[in-house]
Structure 1
Amino acid sequence: MSNRPGIDVDEAALSDLDELVRLESSLFRDDAGTHDPLVDITWPARHAREDFVRLIGGASTVVLVARYEENIRGHLVGYLSAPSPTRFDRRTAEIRSLYVDSAVRASGVGQALVTSFMTWARTHEAVAVAVSAYTANEGARGFYEHLGFAEQSVTFRLLLDD
C-alpha cells in the first residue's frame, strides 16, 4: 500500500495481534498516560486483542500496520462515519489511533500510514479525514499540520472534584 521505499503498509491480519497490542499499549502509555488522567492506560493489556479482532476486516473500519526494516513499527486504526444529513449526506473518515515506535518516528512510517488511510478513505467515498490530538502533544499536532490537517475545533474539559 505504501510508496515509500523501505516502508510497507498493509491492512492488519489476525497474525499481527501481538504487535498491535504492543503498539496500542505504547500509545496509551506514552500519549494518554501523559496527557489525560482519566484514561486507563492498562486497558489495552486487557481488551485491545478482542477490540482488534472486532475491527480487522470490518465493513467501515480499517487497521493498518507499517513494516519498516521488516518489523511492524506502526499502526493506524480508522473508521468511517455514517453519512450525515447535516453534512450534505457526506461521510468523514476518522483516525481513531496512530502510533509509531519512537525509534523510527522520523523515518516516514507515520506519513505512510496516514497516506494509506487517506487512500482507503477515498475508496470508501469519504470527503474528509479527521483526527483528534491532545492540545499538549505538540509532536502530534505538528505532524498532522505538516500533512495538511488544519485545526477545526477545540474541546474544553473541567475535572470535577471527587
Structure 2
Amino acid sequence: MSSLRVDVADAADLDDLVRLETSLFAEDAGAHDALVDVGWPEQHARADFIRLMKNEAALVLVARYDGSAAGHLVGYVGAPSPTRFGRRTAEIRSLYVDEPVRSSGIGQLLVRDFITWARTQSAVAIAVTAYTANRSARAFYEKLGFTEQSVVLHAALEPGNRTQNVRNGG
C-alpha cells in the first residue's frame, strides 16, 4: 500500500521543489506559452522558494509519495480588496505532480491542504490560472469545484505578429 503525505516545505525540500517547478515550466508553460522562459526555475526558483517560505502570506507545500517528493503547490493570499467588500482571495500560483503518480490523489491533497490554510487566512475564495489548451489541468480543477470566472485574452506584440498587423490596418 502506497503512502501519501503533504507537508509545509522547508529548506531541506529546496532541491525537490526546484526539480518539480522546472518540470512544471517545461511541461506546462513550455507547451502552451512561447513567451515563458522555461529556464527560469533553474536560475531563480531556489531564491524564490526561500523568499516564499519566509512570507506569512504564502504557503509552499510538498507532497510525498512513499517518502519521496512527488508534487508541490505554491500559493498565497492577497490583501483585503476594497473592490470585493474588503474580502481576501487566495491564489494557487503553481501546482505540479510527477507524471508517474498522477491520479494517485496527490493533487487533491495539495489543494485540500491549501484550502484549509486559506480559510485560516480569512480568504473567501481561491483563484487559479490554467492555460486554455491544458485540458487536463482545467478538468482537474473543475472536478474540485472550480468554475471559470473570467477569460484572459492574449496578443503577442512582437514584430510580424498577425494580431498586431490587423490592428494597425496591415
Q: TM-score range by the shorter chain?
A: over 0.9
User: 1:145 offset after TM fit, Å?
Assistant: 0.1
Segments of 4+ in structure 1 off by > 4 A? Answer: none
Match of 1:122 among 106, 112, 119: 119
- Aligned to 2:70, the other structure's residue is in SS state strand
User: 1:131 offset after TM fit, Å?
Assistant: 0.2
Match of 1:60 among 40, 49, 57: 57
Structure-2-length-normalised TM-score: 0.91
For structure 2, which runs of at least 5 residues remain unmatched after alignment? Answer: 160-170
Q: How many residues align?
A: 158
For structure 1, which runs of at least 5 residues remain unmatched after alignment? Answer: none
Q: Counterparts of 1:161 and 1:114 in 2: how far apart (Å)?
A: 36
Structure-1-length-normalised TM-score: 0.96
Give aligned-pair identity as a percent. 63
Q: Counterparts of 2:4 and 2:54 in 1: how far apart (Å)?
A: 22
Deviations 1:86-115 (A, max 9, x none): 101000010000000000011000000000
Where do residues 59-78 of structure 1 align in structure 2 (5 Å cutoff)? 59-78=56-75
Q: Does 1:79 align with 2:91?
A: no
Match of 2:135 among 135, 138, 146: 138
Match of 1:93 among 75, 90, 101: 90
User: 1:58 offset after TM fit, Å?
Assistant: 1.3
Q: Does 1:154 align with 2:151?
A: yes
User: 1:57 offset after TM fit, Å?
Assistant: 3.3
Number of the residue aligned with 1:104? 101
Greater relative contact order (Cα < 8 A, sep 6+): 1
User: 1:84 offset after TM fit, Å?
Assistant: 0.7
Match of 2:33 among 28, 32, 36: 36
- Aligned to 1:56, the other structure's residue is in SS state helix
User: 1:161 offset after TM fit, Å?
Assistant: 3.3
